[in-house]
Structure 1
Amino acid sequence: MSKITRVYTKTGDDGTTGLIGGSRVKKYDVRLEAYGTVDELNSHIGLIIASGVDDNSKKVLQFIQNKLFVIGSQLATDDSAAEFKKRYPCKEEDIKLLENEMDTMFETLPKLDNFILPGGSVSSAQTQIARTICRRAERRIIELSEKTKIENNLIKFINRLSDYLFVLGRKIAFDQKAPENLWIPDENRG
């Protein structure tokens, strides 16, 4: 692996960026919106880890960060570099890992009869922010999939990840003994 000797390249000064494969696109291209949002999500997951979570959640979140880096590279690859995309696929077992983690968390969480509002504690609220960014990433990826082939498991992983982040946010609040903020419709307020 080559060392990065400097961060700036000046090649994007014209408002374009290079994709893996060599083509250049405008910086507002849907492809950049997709992988830029995945990068934003990855940063927020780093903030969740830094806020202090249990060891298992930290391990899973670090796995997710690595997987998001791969997903970002997949989205940053133009159609001429299809072989690169095949080297790092999203696998069915990646999706299953998220599902298994959610099933395990559900075993200890109280039943949810209401919608909840983000909050509870700083780290559980941060997890809900990450969930909403994940949903935005999913929308951008779906939009991109109308223009280029996107691996189906990549889309499934992002979809499942938003569910995982919702459940993790609840678990963090539960572990910290922070109350969940229940949504109460106006007609039920006293």
Structure 2
Amino acid sequence: MVVLNRIYTKTGDGGQTRLASGAPVSKSDPRVEAYGAVDELNAVIGLARLHSGQNDRLDAMLARIQNELFDLGADLATPSEPEPKWEALRILDSQVERLETEIDWMNESLKPLDSFILPGGSSFSAHLHLARTVCRRAEREAVRLTEAGAAVTPAAINYLNRLSDHLFCAARRANANGAGDVKWKPGATR
């Protein structure tokens, strides 16, 4: 259980923070950028959920995902090398597989795509598309970490990749009973 008795500590006033391992790093450290983007994604999903209306199943999935995003933030904040002396909270392959199962469920009732989709339609869908783009940025930040030689668990990157697909399907599903997909019309305004 996490206990936060004091919200401000002033320890970050010099532009430093600590990873879950206790190691001090700059607040602009790529690892901090990665879990910061995950935190932003969580906030955007929270905004999307304000518009979920009667989409109880989608809302329940998003609520679970918000919790998993905190787990993902902890995963990214804990370097896997050297292996920590405690059991680190890590994203599991089973969480990635659950996203895939949900994507399949959402996609089975949607019409096949015949164009790219523009963000929009309903408020719920538009917010989910915003979440999708923030998710892609978080994924890029996590990949950038691995390219820089930082140890990141493969499941963490796989989770972000699958989550962006999940959010895309959820955005389409949010428009399925009303607004419908907003399709890109190439060259329509020439």
- CA 1:13–1:81 in 2, change beyond 3 Å: closer, same or farther? farther
RMSD: 1.8
- Residue identity over aligned pairs, in percent, reads 43
The more displaced of 69-78 and 165-174 is 69-78
What SS is found at the alignment partner of 2:84?
helix
CA distance in 1, matches of 2:158, 2:85: 21
**Quick check: 1:21–1:81 contact (8 Å CA) kept in 2?**
no
What SS is found at the alignment partner of 2:13?
coil
2:8 aligned residue? 8
CA distance in 1, matches of 2:131, 2:189: 29
Q: CA deviation at 1:120?
A: 0.4
2:174 aligned residue? 172
Give the alignment of 1:67-78 within 5 angstroms: 67-78=68-79
CA distance in 2, matches of 1:153, 1:77: 14
Q: TM-score, normalised by structure 1?
A: 0.91
1:160 aligned residue? 162
Q: CA deviation at 1:95?
A: 1.1
What SS is found at the alignment partner of 1:82?
coil
What SS is found at the alignment partner of 2:185?
coil
2:66 aligned residue? 65
What SS is found at the alignment partner of 2:25?
strand
- CA 1:161–1:83 in 2, change beyond 3 Å: closer, same or farther? farther
CA distance in 2, matches of 1:83, 1:172: 44
Q: CA deviation at 1:80?
A: 4.9
Give the alignment of 1:103-182 within 5 angstroms: 103-146=104-147, 147-175=149-177, 177-182=178-183
Which structure is higher in helix share?
1
CA distance in 1, matches of 2:189, 2:52: 35
2:92 aligned residue? 91
Q: TM-score, normalised by structure 2?
A: 0.91
Which AA in structure 2 matches 1:50? L
2:25 aligned residue? 25
Q: CA deviation at 1:83?
A: 4.3
Which AA in structure 1 matches 2:120? G
Which sections of structure 2, spanning at least 5 residues, go unmatched?
none
The more displaced of 58-67 and 36-45 is 58-67
The more displaced of 93-102 and 121-130 is 93-102
Q: CA deviation at 1:82?
A: 2.3
1:28-72 CA-to-partner distances (Å, cap 9, x unmatched) read 111111000000001111112222252211221111111110110
1:136-179 CA-to-partner distances (Å, cap 9, x unmatched) read 0000000112332111111111100000000000000113x013
What SS is found at the alignment partner of 2:161?
helix
Q: CA deviation at 1:103?
A: 1.0
- CA 1:189–1:50 in 2, change beyond 3 Å: closer, same or farther? closer
